Structure 1
Amino acid sequence: MGIDPSAVIHPMAVVEAGASIGPGCVIGPFCVVGAEARLAADVTLKSHAVVTGWTEIGQGTVIFPFANIGDVPQDLKYSGEKTRLIVGKRNRIREGVTMNTGTEGGGGITRVGDDGLFMAGAHVAHDAQVGDRVIMANNAAVAGHCIISDDVIIGGLSGVHQFVRIGKGAIIGAVTMVTNDVIPYGLVQGPRGMLDGLNLVGLKRRGVAREDIMALRAAFQALAQGDGAFQDRAKRLLDDVAGQSRYVRDIVDFVLGESDRSFLTPG
């Protein structure tokens, strides 16, 4: 608790009594740090950034001007209960980003992982669970209770409907509305998001082996053209090819997991 003596705090910043400021932090002019905020080591707040509420910011995260991190949810059901926001390490939270604390009905915690990039104007709503290395481009918005897995990219001006899950390594194109779950490594684009293939560029950039990419292509074709419901096709994949590639198994596990939404399915 308290302010580490190595922290650099501009005299025009407001740090409320009770805030915890770790070693090496830098807090610029006109910033506000609330009484329940916890900043780990080497966090930087550039001018006019606000960290409020019961909020934890992980080591090395940088928050840019006019971001508002940890304010109360934009949810009419919220009635002042004590809830949290936990932000991981080494995130870059750009100008005007908003991230809200959770709600009692949604588990009480909004969580953001490590090494994310949240570009100007992006929004992470109450009770969302955001993984590591997630990129949200300018003015992208994630609604309440969403689950955004590791290595997801959400294009600019795109929105993700509440309770939607986006599987690891998926990419959402710009100006896209996502209303249903997106399989791991999927590619979604169009004004009303359509599952339009696999994120092949992302897979190749991460160095995924050619045989795994071929297995994913075959699995996608089976999901797109097989008989029966989407989940039935995924169950058949479990017997046919899932054992050959952990990437295919990621898709099968995701489709057969619990969800409050249906799925975006191949066209």
Structure 2
Amino acid sequence: MSRIHSTALVDPAACLDTSVTVGPYAVIGPDVRIGADTTVGAHCVIEGHTTIGQGNHIFQFASLGAQPQDKKYAGEPTRLLIGDRNTIREFCTFNTGTAQDQGLTQVGNDNWIMAYVHIAHDCVVGNHTVLANNATLAGHVKVGDHTILGGLTGVHQFTHIGAHVMAGFASHISQDVPPFMLVDGNPLSVRGYNLEGLRRRGFSPQRLQAVKQMHKLLYRQGLTLEAARQAIAALDVQYPEAASDIQALTSFIASSTRGLAR
């Protein structure tokens, strides 16, 4: 109990590991679960059916687990799940899910989430992402692993963003962004592929070459979407080391529901 500030209001029904630190004037509700070595800053409000993993650093004034901003919400016991080792900076707002989807908003592991980021109901954010200041995800958005969203970027509801994407400052994302791409602007434009990001993550020369070819087929050859998908799928013979990358892109294309940013 010495780790919980005397001014914090922690419901007796909440389940906090003994190593959790809670700052002054924080409010933690009865259905909250927080794992080991997580730090909750001053004036944070954590409510709803919220589960937070280990080693997270939640800075002051964050609001986690509040009801979704959805007029259809009728008090269903929907959830927010946050993984391990995330940095969540000041004034972030993460809402619980809705019954119209899976009833779950989910944030993975090792994410760097900067100030004023909003993650709306039913979003799924992967691992090792960076969401810069004021990035805003509308409901039902999915963000893949290792993706970076620049400051003031807005993402339309139901949009999917693939792994290893980088979106520049103040991007307006209203269509699905395939894995590995580099985008920015309003209206959004695909500027290339995320070469520097992939290099930093240890992509081999063959994998980088495969991504280059996939970008060329999808954006530079004037092919229909289906023709591009088939041509990309055939690259696994030429680039066997990149088979998983090729599969990731072709699967993303096949599952897109909002159309690809092209």
The bucket for the TM-score relative to the shorter chain is over 0.9
Provide the C-alpha distance between the structure 1 equivalents of 2:232 and 2:146, rounded to a whole number of angstroms: 24
Provide the C-alpha distance between the structure 2 equivalents of 1:259 and 1:106, rounded to a whole number of angstroms: 17
Equivalent of 1:225 in 216, 220, 223: 220
Structure 2: gaps (5+ residues): none
Provide the C-alpha distance between the structure 1 equivalents of 2:112 and 2:93, rounded to a whole number of angstroms: 13
Identify the residue that residue 249 of structure 1 maps to in structure 2: 247
* Distance change (3 Å), C-alpha of 1:154 and 1:251: same
Q: 1:223 offset after TM fit, Å?
A: 1.1
Q: 1:191 offset after TM fit, Å?
A: 2.1
* Distance change (3 Å), C-alpha of 1:259 and 1:237: closer
Provide the C-alpha distance between the structure 2 equivalents of 1:76 and 1:254, rounded to a whole number of angstroms: 30
Structure 1: gaps (5+ residues): none
Alignment of 1:203-242 (within 5 A): 203-226=198-221, 228-239=223-234, 241-242=235-236
Secondary structure class of the residue paired with 2:100: helix
Secondary structure class of the residue paired with 1:55: strand
Secondary structure class of the residue paired with 2:198: helix
1:56 is aligned with what amino acid?
A: T
Identify the residue that residue 102 of structure 2 maps to in structure 1: 107
Identify the residue that residue 185 of structure 2 maps to in structure 1: 190
Count of residues paired in the alignment? 258
Alignment of 1:68-83 (within 5 A): 68-83=63-78
Equivalent of 2:260 in 230, 240, 263: 263
Provide the C-alpha distance between the structure 2 equivalents of 1:139 and 1:226, rounded to a whole number of angstroms: 36
**Contact 1:101/1:109 (8 A) holds in 2:** yes
**Contact 2:159/2:175 (8 A) holds in 1:** yes
**Contact 1:242/1:252 (8 A) holds in 2:** no
2:151 is aligned with what amino acid?
A: G
* Distance change (3 Å), C-alpha of 1:22 and 1:133: same
Q: 1:43 offset after TM fit, Å?
A: 1.1
TM-score (norm 1): 0.93
Provide the C-alpha distance between the structure 2 equivalents of 1:217 and 1:126, rounded to a whole number of angstroms: 35
**Contact 1:71/1:101 (8 A) holds in 2:** yes
Query: How large is the Cα RMSD of the aligned pairs?
Result: 1.2
Identify the residue that residue 111 of structure 2 maps to in structure 1: 116
Provide the C-alpha distance between the structure 1 equivalents of 2:119 and 2:224, rounded to a whole number of angstroms: 32
Identify the residue that residue 25 of structure 1 maps to in structure 2: 20
Provide the C-alpha distance between the structure 2 equivalents of 1:260 and 1:26, rounded to a whole number of angstroms: 42
Provide the C-alpha distance between the structure 2 equivalents of 1:91 and 1:64, rounded to a whole number of angstroms: 11
TM-score (norm 2): 0.95
Provide the C-alpha distance between the structure 2 equivalents of 1:18 and 1:192, rounded to a whole number of angstroms: 48
Secondary structure class of the residue paired with 1:248: helix
1:186 is aligned with what amino acid?
A: M
**Contact 1:117/1:135 (8 A) holds in 2:** yes
